[in-house]
């Protein structure tokens, strides 16, 4: 348990010190706390880290360069960074039951890049070096090097489509993964909007990917990773799972057996700041087989590790190993179910008809709104969400037809079942009282919204009651 009185003094003094150098930054930090304390945060990828985690980020560990790996650095004096990275990796291995953990990635996207290049190194570079009879890439002659570079560029990745809930880093063109790999997507069943494993298997048989990637940013259901591994094995693919969104539910043992990616995947990546409730950052977990190539993340794609952030990951992972965190993770899933039921009983359409993870994806088209209009109307009423595509979205990825909601943050504040039912009621109140705004030509557009008079005040008042009853960082005097 955090010593709240000590944390209050720490923050008050820290802000004094910052204010003496750049008051606008101290003010922005304080204003951010006020804003977060005063709004209903339903962004599925956000959370509230503990004061212990937050305080671990701001210190002199940040000043140390430590490129390399534990005990094998390119700089002198890395003994304390070695301790920090070892503790983070130890907690990650034990929490998730992984054979190997790599705590250096600075973010989820970096963790995925490390994973992609590690898989390429293990599957393509290793055999190529062996056939050339050399151990080190630098010993390849120019022709062999060109052959290897060409082979890297020929590899394929099969991942979930963006509009079914996949992530940009899973092989899509705006991201480097789409430039590295030939990509194909698997979607969801057009009727049920659920993952269709037979269709994934058929796509894998035809496309023969090097990497089959599972995981999502906006799919409100659990995934059968045992089935995904069967598919990967059948076509000789490496199964990589990106659990950035649901790592907290894996850590908290809500997802077990076939729903736990660790026993089934060759490589698992995650962020540490979403449902896991840690600092912003990434982790890679792997089997022994892939460990040596993952360990080359720095210098393969990463520069010097952020030692202060690895330290904060270690503290967050220590917290996630407690019974208290398991209770929290179960509440995140239970609250998502209550939230989804709250919408269904009020007639709102949900993608897949419900949820069994931490995400609820609203399809707002029946309210005559785009996702963008719904998102901005909700924000006007003090409810922070983000718009999101729905499967086969007629409004595309910018305007969208959906709004994604998540329960991790408000559950961290202590919101329970009654609160989440009330949240559904407030959101439906906003959606039913919003109409599309007019474009410059005087016709209803896709961007602007008009929220009926009085709704914002009514919703703000109801939210304030719940927010006051469940304060953010209770006892923290700032």
Comparison of 209 and 382: residue with beta carbon closer to ligand PLP: 209
List the interface residues with ligand PLP, window 43-82 (CB under 6 A).
Answer: 45
CB of residue 282 to ligand PLP, shortest distance in Å: 6
- In 3D space, the residue among 399, 402, 421, 400 whose CA is nearest the CA of residue 466 turns out to be 421
Residues 6+ apart with CB under 8 A from 184: 156, 157, 158, 171, 203, 207, 209
Q: Is 274 an annotated catalytic residue?
A: yes
The one catalytic residue in 151, 227, 280, 448 is 280
The residue annotated as part of the active site, out of 274, 277, 313, 372, is: 274
**Which is catalytic among the residues 188, 271, 407, 434?**
271
Rg (CA), the chain: 23
Q: Is 163 a catalytic residue?
A: no
User: Given the DSSP bridges, would you call strands 383-384 and 40-41 parallel, antiparallel or unpaired?
Assistant: parallel
* Cβ neighbour number for residue 469 with a 10 Å cutoff: 12
The one catalytic residue among 65, 83, 125, 296: 65
In the bound state, the residue with its beta carbon closest to ligand PLP is: 108
The footprint of ligand PLP on residues 243-262 (CB under 6 A) is: 244-245
3-class secondary-structure state, position 256:
coil
242 near ligand PLP (CB under 6 A): yes
Q: Residue 169 interacts with ligand PLP (CB under 6 A)?
A: yes
Site for ligand PLP contains 108 (CB under 6 A): yes
d(CA 248, CA 240): 18
Three-class HEC string of 47-98: CCCCHHHHHHHCCHHHHCCCCEECCEECCCCCHHHHHHHHHHHHHHHHHHCC
Interior CA angle at 52 toward 49 and 54, to 5°?
55
From 103-111, 365-373, 391-399, 425-433, span contacting ligand PLP (CB under 6 A): 103-111
271 contacts ligand PLP (rule: CB under 6 A): yes
Does 167 bind ligand PLP (CB under 6 A)? Our answer is yes
CB of 173: closest distance to ligand PLP in angstroms? 16
Locate all alpha helices (DSSP H) within 195-241, ordered by sequence. 197-207, 225-235
Answer yes or no whether residue 107 interacts with ligand PLP by CB under 6 A. yes
Interface pick for ligand PLP out of 51, 165, 215, 305 (rule CB under 6 A): 215
Is residue 42 within the footprint of ligand PLP (CB under 6 A)? Answer: no
Q: Which of 47, 104, 193, 217 binds ligand PLP (CB under 6 A)?
A: 217
408 binds ligand PLP (CB under 6 A): no
DSSP lists the bridge partners of residue 383 as 40
Residue 11: active-site member:
no
* Catalytic residue positions, numbered: 65, 67, 242, 271, 274, 280
């Amino acid at each position: 348990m955090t010593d709240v009185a000590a944390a209050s003094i720490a923050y008050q003094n820290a802000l004094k010190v910052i204010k003496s150098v750049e008051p606008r930054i101290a003010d922005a930090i304080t204003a951010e706390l006020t804003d977060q304390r005063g709004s209903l945060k339903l962004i599925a990828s956000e959370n509230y880290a503990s004061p212990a985690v937050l305080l671990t980020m701001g210190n002199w560990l940040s000043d140390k360069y430590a490129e390399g790996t534990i005990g094998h650095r390119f700089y002198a004096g890395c003994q304390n960074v070695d301790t920090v990275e070892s503790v983070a990796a130890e907690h990650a291995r034990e929490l998730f039951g992984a054979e190997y953990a790599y705590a250096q990635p600075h973010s989820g996207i970096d963790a995925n890049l490390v994973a992609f290049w590690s898989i390429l190194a293990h599957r393509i570079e290793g055999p190529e070096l062996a056939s050339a009879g050399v151990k080190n890439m630098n010993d390849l002659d120019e022709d062999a090097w060109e052959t290897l570079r060409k082979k890297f560029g020929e590899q394929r990745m099969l991942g979930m489509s963006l509009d079914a809930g996949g992530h940009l880093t899973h092989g899509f063109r705006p991201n480097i993964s789409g430039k590295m790999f030939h990509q194909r997507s698997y979607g969801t069943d057009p009727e049920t909007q659920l993952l269709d494993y037979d269709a994934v298997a058929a796509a894998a048989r035809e496309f023969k990917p090097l990497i089959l990637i599972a995981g999502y940013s906006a799919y409100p259901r659990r995934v059968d990773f045992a089935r995904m591994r069967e598919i990967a094995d059948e076509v000789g693919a490496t199964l990589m799972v990106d659990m950035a969104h649901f790592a907290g539910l894996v850590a908290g043992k809500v997802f077990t057996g076939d729903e736990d990616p660790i026993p089934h995947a060759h490589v698992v990546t995650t962020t540490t700041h979403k449902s896991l409730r840690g600092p912003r950052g990434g982790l890679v977990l792997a089997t022994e087989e892939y460990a040596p190539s993952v360990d080359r993340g720095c210098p393969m794609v990463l520069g010097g590790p952020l030692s202060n952030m690895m330290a904060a990951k270690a503290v967050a992972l220590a917290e996630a190993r407690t019974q208290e965190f398991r209770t929290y993770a179960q509440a995140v899933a239970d609250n998502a179910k209550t939230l989804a039921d709250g919408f269904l009983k009020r007639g709102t359409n949900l993608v897949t008809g419900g949820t069994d993870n931490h995400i609820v994806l609203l399809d707002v088209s029946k309210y005559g709104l785009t996702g963008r209009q719904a998102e901005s109307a909700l924000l006007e009423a003090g409810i922070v969400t983000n718009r999101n595509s729905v499967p086969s979205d007629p409004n595309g990825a910018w305007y969208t037809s959906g709004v994604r909601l998540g329960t991790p943050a408000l559950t961290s504040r202590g919101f329970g079942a009654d609160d989440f039912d009330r949240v559904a009621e407030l959101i439906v109140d906003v959606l039913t009282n919003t109409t599309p705004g007019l474009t410059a030509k005087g016709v209803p557009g896709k961007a602007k919204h008009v929220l009926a008079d009085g709704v914002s005040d009514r919703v703000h008042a109801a939210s304030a009651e719940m927010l006051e009853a469940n304060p953010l960082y209770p006892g923290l005097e700032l």
